[in-house]
Amino acid sequence: MANNRGVAYMGPGKVEVKAIDFPKLVGPGGRKCEQGVILKIVSTNICGSDQHMVRGRTTAPIGLILGHEITGEVIEAGRDVEFIKVGDLVSVPFNIACGRCRLCKERYTGVCLNVNPSRPGGAYGYVDMGGWIGGQADYVMVPYADFNLLKFPDKARAMAKIRDLTCLSDILPTGYHGCITAGVTTGSTVLISGAGPVGLPPQPPPFF
């Protein structure tokens, strides 16, 4: 069995790469995840919300393994996984959803009722989001693989563009969803103000 390492939050302003357990098809609290897979991480991002934890703005526990923007290769699939196969290259959405509860069926997957015993909604490697191990690691377990994973149909072509495709896990859909929700479409004139890749760096409008 391969070794595993993860980026661990060690207190405000401090992270360390730590040796961690190799993942099993088991979720927080010991719940079996035969509908899950184990991924070998190919690429991952650091999110602004990771920085909130690292800077001490949350109640993140010491030792929390960070990372919810994951792209990886499937190296093991649970008994109940139907459509995702070992060897597939996949993008992982940052939120975890079962695909079966009322809110998931209504397309509110960010507040899934079955992945966090404390409140609706779960995510990898984030404070109070269900205790799921983060993906800034060598290997990670992803539950509900058939529902959660986006398979790249051409693995070789995907690997050639992997830095771009890594943005599909969070950054690109976050910005896209914001535009769609706001009614932005072809020909729209908008001002996007942001501090990261989701939006443009803050700058004055051209008419100033």
pLDDT tens digit string along 138-153?
A: 999 999 999 999 999 9
Neighbours of 159 (CB within 10 A): 14
Percent of the residues in the chain that have a pLDDT greater than 90, as a whole number: 72
> Which residues pair with residue 43 across a beta bridge?
71
Q: How far apart, in whole angstroms, are the C-alpha atoms of residue 50 and residue 66?
A: 7
- Whether 142 is in a domain gets the answer yes
Range of the domain at 37: 4-169
Q: What residues have CB less than 8 Å from 121, skipping those under 6 apart?
A: 95, 110, 111, 112, 115, 129, 130
Comparing CA positions, the residue from 154, 196, 149 lying closest to residue 174 is: 196
Q: Are 134 and 65 in contact (CB under 8 A)?
A: yes
Residue 194 lies in a domain: no
181 found inside a domain: no
Task: Give me the torsion for CA of 171, 176, 178, 184, rounded to 10°.
Answer: 150
The answer to whether residue 197 sits within a structural domain is no
DSSP 8-state symbol, 22: P
CA 100 and chain centroid, separation: 19
Residue 30 lies in a domain: yes
Each residue of 93-150: pLDDT tens digit? 989 999 999 999 999 999 999 999 999 999 999 999 999 999 999 999 999 999 999 9
Distance CA(6)–CA(84), nearest Å, equals 25
The tally of domains found in the chain comes to 1
For the chain, percent of residues with pLDDT exceeding 70: 92
Is 140 among the domain residues?
Answer: yes
Measuring CA to CA, which residue among 43, 5, 1, 46 is closest to residue 133?
5
Give the CATH number of the domain where residue 71 resides. Answer: 3.90.180.10
Q: Which residue has the higher pLDDT, 150 or 190?
A: 150
- Does this model's pTM top 0.85? yes
- 190 domain residue, yes or no: no
2-20 mean pLDDT: 95
pLDDT tens, position by position, 37-49: 999 999 998 888 8
Look over the chain and give the mean of its residue pLDDT values, rounded to a whole number.
90
204 part of a folded domain: no
